[in-house]
Amino acid sequence: MKKIIVCGAGQVGFNIAKHLANEQNDVTVIDRSPELVAQIRNSLDVQALVGYASHPDILENAGAKDADMIIAVTLFDEVNMVACQVAHSLFNVPTKIARVRAQNYLAPMWKDLFSTDNMPIDEIISPEIEVARAAIRRLEVPGAFDMIAFCEKRIQVVGVRIEDNCPVVDTPLKQLTELFPDLNIIVCGIIRNDKLIVPSAGDQLLIGDNIYFAAESCNVRRALAVFGHEEEEARKIIIIGGGNVGAFIADRMLEINKNIQIKIIEKDQARATLIAEKIPSVIILQGNAMDLDLLKEANAQTAETVIAVTNNDNVNILSSLLAKQLGTKRAITLINNQDFSSLTNSVGIDAFIDPRQTTVSSILQHMRQNKIKSLQSLAGGAAEVVEAVATEDSPLVGKPLREVKLQSGIIIAAIVRGEETIPPRGGTIIKANDIIIVFLRADLIKKVEDLFAAPAEYF
């Protein structure tokens, strides 16, 4: 059990506290809002205090003297940074993670700011950069609504929607191996009627399902075709919103492929001018993205993808739909209000990004050590994907997988041994030091820790 202080009881802090409490950690949450603190007390098995997270007396009352970790995710960058500084200077808290929104702090020229000798923060989480990376991941796999890479990008877990053109609708999953023996596709999760199903071999895919499958990265394009997705890689992209997220996406995509044509629609004249100076190879259109004439000027009729990343959900959703109405093939949309997320498929949005979920996933990603190499949240937090190293004393090692008693809700998605990727079959025998990708219901993470005989090394 670890003692962890979470500063901030908003949606990010709440979800982190919930995850940590489910793992039987000793969690204390600090927030200045009595209402949010009361909500946490009533909902989670954690302690909660009202107060300013950067104040020494509040941190002392939260048990900072004995804490193993502090995670600062209040609304204010400066509070998060000072909380980590106080936790280090006065209480010697070993691990400090802070959310920092303002890019001014994160410029490369100031890279020494967060060093041990200055402001000692072990991991900085930038929501804007995490959102941009999430959008880029979705661009990398045309037709997918989500994608996470593991094992140094050798394995991808990909989310796709099953449409009426899917050739394997109503086919039992066990037959996928027979039909496509060289692809080694493992369907790990099915979202049906907003509920997560971790499937068995006899389950079938239905039209309207959102599924997650695992495959070697080199086979993903062919695997997508199996599920009815043969979309072309985006060459013409429209980005709506020229803030830090939009600029980061444009800059990074041009690094990946200089032949991509990117147009940015930005409402603010000064910001539009600034981006034009910083990224001269991008075409900047200044104006309202919900103006049909402006979208036509951006050639939405022939664009493969529109990425809407303003700070206004209504603008993001409506401009995405207008672009698709004009002919844009695909829409990737930033949505802050979780109540809107369930509507995305029905209205025609192909992939959406939840900034809070990307932040939570990133923080959890930085909280693993040793045998648990990586942990990522999917399906709105309902599922996790773990990358872990099998130890000599792991219950997985040395016996055929058919003899391993995996709890319902846990699937081994891939096995990597050196340069070889081994499909998980009933007769497969896992060896010590194999890297295992496991898909699971989020509430079963403790069971997965036990599989790798490393519960004390999770953090």
pLDDT tens digits along 112-153: 888 877 888 999 999 899 999 999 988 889 889 999 999 999
- Answer yes or no: do 121 and 160 share one domain: no
Tokens of 406: 């995996």
382-407: average pLDDT: 90
In a domain, 132, yes or no: no
Query: Residue 299's domain spans which residues?
Result: 236-357
**pTM of the complete model:** 0.83
What one-character DSSP code corresponds to residue 113?
T
- Range of 10-24, 167-181, 275-289, 358-372 with top mean pLDDT: 275-289
CA distance 453 to 397: 11
CA distance 355 to 132: 10
Give the CATH number for residue 405: 3.30.70.1450
pLDDT computed for residue 458 by the predictor: 37
Using 50, 70 and 90 to split pLDDT, how confident is the model at 452?
confident
CA distance 396 to 404: 6
User: In the chain, pLDDT over 70 holds for what percent of residues?
Assistant: 96
- Answer yes or no: do 250 and 274 share one domain: yes
C-alpha triplet 231, 259, 143: angle, nearest 5°: 15
- Answer yes or no: do 146 and 62 share one domain: no
pLDDT computed for residue 111 by the predictor: 78
In a domain, 413, yes or no: yes
What one-character DSSP code corresponds to residue 311?
S
CA distance 336 to 29: 23
Whether pLDDT at 454 is above 80:
no
In a domain, 427, yes or no: yes
R_g of the chain computed on alpha carbons: 23
- Answer yes or no: do 115 and 22 share one domain: yes
Report the sign of the C-alpha dihedral through residues 247, 145, 368, 414, in that order: negative
- Range of 64-73, 357-366, 404-413 with top mean pLDDT: 64-73
- Answer yes or no: do 210 and 286 share one domain: no
Whether pLDDT at 2 is above 60:
yes
86-100: average pLDDT: 95
Q: Where are the alpha helices (DSSP H) in 44-120?
A: 56-61, 77-91
- pLDDT tens digit string along 268-284? 999 999 999 999 999 99
Are the beta carbons of 54 and 79 closer than 8 angstroms?
yes
Are the beta carbons of 326 and 292 closer than 8 angstroms?
yes
Return the SS3 of 292: helix
- Answer yes or no: do 367 and 350 share one domain: no
CA distance 269 to 81: 32
381-409: average pLDDT: 90
- Answer yes or no: do 246 and 331 share one domain: yes
CA distances from 79 to 16, 149, 367 (A): 18, 33, 21
- Answer yes or no: do 87 and 113 share one domain: yes
Whether pLDDT at 369 is above 60:
no
